[in-house]
């Protein structure tokens, strides 16, 4: 058995891509997209027609309307080859505007419904895990629109998401690893900080253990991986969203793989239940230099790619 098939015994495998023609060989359950992945996909000849068709069908629509239509178009194509769910992201430029996030999330949901998609079962709306985004997610969940809170780097973000009752969170393993490696500079010991000692892996494990210990229903989906060692160190996590190149590497490996996370293990080390109000959340996030840096950086990067997609559509 290869490691991808072995991983599927413990964890729901999710493809992190907009390239729906590529993922069938890996047979993931779900898929996640973001503005960067969609921008990359529409610049490929195989997918340019999706952009052209969207614009041709709605030539007088506002740019942001067609942006959401394009995202949903990709999502619908992904759902044709997936048995599970697709995550579609709200424009990151609204990361600090609860009302605007709600409006865009509702519109994306309605666009899926217009295509005959059961959004309650098959769609997750991705939102940046800012305070404003988390509050929007709380409202959406009460409306039956399920959410995936992304750009999550801090335990405080995970606590606030649990309080909001979001469906799923995406803690970013690789970007946490990147920050700590850069901060350590020449002192970084790759071997010593690999596997279970990887700071990104440790962050996800702590959140997973906290959720399971306190019976929190929010699903944990590790994301943003740099190598398959990070993935195998999180085998047993609820879900892992993995780029196609790493799915391919897992498929090529045959070394034995066992679960590293489990409900039983999560209950062994007590973790105190935490509650955060807005002021406590903002202070805790500010105190975490890594999380503050990576959240801001991630939002800026997604905004930049959203603008590039705007420019491509206008051109």
> In whole angstroms, what is the distance from residue 303 CA to residue 301 CA?
5
Which candidate, 258, 133, 281, 152, places its Cα nearest to that of 204? 152
User: Which residues make beta-bridge pairs with 242?
Assistant: 15
> In whole angstroms, what is the distance from residue 69 CA to residue 78 CA?
14
Which candidate, 195, 199, 192, 155, places its Cα nearest to that of 173? 199
Which candidate, 145, 144, 147, places its Cα nearest to that of 167? 147
Active site residues: 126
Helices (H), the chain: 3-7, 35-42, 48-57, 63-81, 98-114, 119-122, 131-142, 155-164, 173-184, 199-213, 228-232, 244-252, 263-266, 278-287, 289-314
Q: What SS3 state is found at 295?
A: helix
Q: What SS3 state is found at 144?
A: coil
- Cβ neighbourhood burial of 297 (10 Å; 0-12, 13-18, 19+): middle
Contact between residue 241 and residue 32 where contact means Cβ atoms under 8 Å apart: yes
């Amino acid at each position: 058995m290869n490691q991808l098939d072995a991983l599927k015994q413990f964890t729901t495998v999710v493809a992190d891509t907009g390239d729906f023609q590529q993922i069938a060989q890996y047979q993931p359950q779900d898929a996640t997209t973001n503005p960067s992945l969609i921008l990359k996909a529409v610049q490929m000849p195989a997918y340019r027609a999706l952009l052209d068709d969207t614009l041709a069908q709605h030539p007088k629509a506002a740019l942001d309307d067609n942006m959401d239509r394009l995202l949903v178009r990709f999502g619908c194509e992904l759902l044709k080859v997936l048995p599970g769910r697709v995550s579609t992201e709200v424009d990151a430029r609204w990361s600090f505007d609860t009302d605007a996030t709600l409006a865009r999330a509702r519109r994306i949901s309605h666009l899926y419904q217009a295509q005959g998609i059961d959004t309650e079962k098959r769609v997750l709306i991705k939102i940046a895990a800012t305070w404003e985004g988390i509050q929007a997610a709380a409202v959406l969940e009460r409306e039956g629109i399920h959410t995936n809170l992304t750009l999550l780097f801090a335990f405080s973000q995970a606590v606030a998401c649990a309080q909001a009752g979001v469906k799923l969170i995406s803690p970013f393993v690789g970007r946490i690893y990147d920050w700590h490696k850069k901060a350590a500079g020449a002192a970084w010991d790759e071997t010593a900080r690999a596997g279970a000692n990887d700071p990104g892996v440790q962050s996800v494990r702590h959140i997973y253990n906290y959720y399971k210990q306190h019976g929190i229903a929010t699903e944990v989906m590790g994301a943003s991986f740099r190598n398959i060692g990070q993935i195998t160190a999180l085998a047993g996590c609820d879900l892992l969203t993995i780029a196609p190149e790493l799915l391919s590497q897992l498929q090529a490996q045959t070394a034995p793989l066992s679960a590293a996370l489990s409900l039983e293990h999560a209950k062994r080390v007590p973790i105190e239940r935490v509650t955060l109000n807005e002021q406590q959340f903002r202070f805790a996030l500010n105190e975490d230099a890594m999380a503050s840096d990576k959240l801001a950086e991630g939002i800026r990067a997604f905004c930049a790619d959203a603008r590039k997609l705007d420019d491509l559509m206008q051109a």
